[in-house]
């Protein structure tokens, strides 16, 4: 043990990714690999609770742009295009059959708004253009001490958008710390109640700090922060929530390839890494049991591993 060469966990992680993801992604892997090893790029999630109307203009002057609204508009246009295509198909029918199909299509369009249109106008996240890794200036407090934006990986917003929170929804963030997605959920302005849970007490402290730095007291009162084992959540409050976010612990690929500290590819964490898919499956099952009938669950990771994604869901 004393003479054996020490392999850094980052190199071990990259070796694992090369052997696994190259088979899974094929010709895409070299560009994905380069992206993993590039300097991390951040997004600035605007804090709607802060008095910071000047911030969007300041960020635009830095050449940053909101990436949420354009994506929502594209999705809406695509859905409208599909509806037009269905209408043209309906016109090929005749008489009562055509009328019934058209009425059904209109009813469906009225009842099924484009995904995330209800919250996309409230969530604003600014990013720099592709290839630009400029750092955002530090967030500043307003007159009440609330910081004007939160820096996070912009992709972290995608599970929140997919959850499509509606007004007065009861929402559970099962693995909430350090708090970026919890804060994004509050930015929707739709949570009737938000339960933010994380098994790690130290990470839960970080979550408390985020809430106190970005959220006014009257909104914090609608959030319950707990440190239960998420796998047992159905025993705490099962069948209760309209929306459940299960953002599970994973190999955190970028961190594993770039950072030595707290790296899950360290040799002493081998067993923990091997058990991840089972833990993820248990958390997803608990999230499903926490949702009420007709509710929705979003499962997400920050890993490319099929074992941690498709296989767990399957």
The answer to whether 181 is a known ligand-binding residue is yes
The answer to whether 247 is a known ligand-binding residue is yes
Q: Which of 97-101, 185-189, 245-249 has the lowest mean pLDDT?
A: 97-101
Residue of 175, 172, 127 whose CA lies nearest to 153: 127
**Mean pLDDT across 278-283:** 98
Task: Please state which of the four CATH numbers 3.40.50.150, 3.40.605.10, 3.40.50.12780, 3.30.300.30 is assigned to the domain occupying 40-78+119-312.
Answer: 3.40.50.150
| CB-CB contact of 305 with 193 (8 Å) | no
The answer to whether 178 is a known ligand-binding residue is yes
| Given 38, 190, 302, 311, the catalytic residue | 302
The answer to whether 180 is a known ligand-binding residue is yes
Residue of 44, 45, 64 whose CA lies nearest to 188: 45
Give per-residue pLDDT as tens, 133-180: 899 999 999 999 999 999 999 999 999 999 999 999 999 999 999 999
Tell which wins on pLDDT, 299 or 113. Answer: 299
Tell which wins on pLDDT, 99 or 309. Answer: 309
Give per-residue pLDDT as tens, 70-88: 766 665 665 556 555 554 4
**Cross-strand pairs, 126:** 44, 66
Q: Where are the beta strands (DSSP E) in 180-230?
A: 191-197, 223-226
Distance CA 20, CA 175 (A): 27
pLDDT at position 78: 57
Distance CA 112, CA 106 (A): 10
Give per-residue pLDDT as tens, 8-61: 999 999 999 999 999 999 999 999 999 999 988 899 999 999 998 999 999 999
The answer to whether 175 is a known ligand-binding residue is yes
Domain parsing of the chain, residue ranges: 40-78+119-312
**Mean pLDDT across 179-183:** 96
- Catalytic site residue 302? yes
CB count in 10 Å sphere of residue 271: 7
pLDDT at position 121: 65
Give per-residue pLDDT as tens, 207-250: 999 999 999 999 999 999 999 999 999 888 889 999 999 999 99
Token pair listed for 51: 């008095």
Phi, psi angle pair for 154, to nearest 5°: -60, -30
Dihedral of alpha carbons 149, 150, 156, 161, sign = negative
Angle at 172 between CA 169 and CA 173, to 5 degrees: 130
pLDDT at position 122: 86
| CA distance to 18, 180, 205, 236, 249, per residue, from 260 (Å) | 18, 23, 23, 36, 17
- Mean pLDDT of all residues in the chain? 86
The answer to whether 221 is a known ligand-binding residue is no
């Amino acid at each position: 043990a004393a003479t054996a060469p020490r392999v850094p966990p980052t190199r071990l992680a990259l070796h694992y990714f090369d052997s696994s993801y190259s088979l899974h992604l094929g010709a895409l892997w070299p560009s994905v690999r380069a992206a993993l090893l590039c300097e991390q790029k951040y997004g600035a999630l605007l804090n709607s609770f802060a008095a910071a109307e000047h911030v969007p203009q300041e960020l635009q002057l830095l050449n940053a742009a909101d990436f949420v609204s354009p994506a929502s508009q594209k999705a809406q246009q695509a859905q409208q295009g599909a509806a037009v295509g269905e209408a043209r198909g309906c016109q090929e029918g005749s008489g009562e059959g055509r009328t019934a199909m058209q009425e059904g299509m209109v009813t469906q369009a009225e009842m099924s708004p484009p995904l995330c249109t209800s919250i996309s106008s409230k969530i604003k996240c600014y990013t720099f253009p592709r290839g630009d890794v400029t750092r955002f200036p530090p967030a500043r407090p307003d007159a009440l001490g609330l910081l004007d934006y939160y820096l996070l990986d912009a992709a972290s917003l995608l599970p929140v958008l997919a959850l499509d929170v509606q007004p007065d929804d009861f929402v559970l963030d099962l693995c909430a710390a350090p708090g970026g997605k919890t804060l994004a959920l509050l930015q929707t302005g739709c949570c009737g109640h938000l339960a933010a849970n994380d098994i790690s007490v130290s990470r839960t402290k970080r979550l408390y700090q985020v809430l106190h730095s970005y959220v006014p007291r009257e909104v914090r009162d609608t959030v319950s922060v707990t440190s239960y084992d998420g796998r047992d959540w159905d025993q705490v409050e099962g069948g209760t929530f309209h929306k459940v976010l299960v953002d599970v612990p994973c190999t955190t690929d970028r961190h594993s390839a770039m950072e030595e500290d707290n790296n899950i590819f360290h040799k002493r964490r081998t067993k923990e890494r091997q058990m991840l898919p089972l833990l993820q499956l248990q958390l997803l099952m608990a999230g499903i049991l926490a949702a009420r009938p007709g509710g929705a669950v979003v499962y997400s990771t920050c890993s490319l591993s099929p074992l941690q994604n498709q296989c767990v869901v399957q």
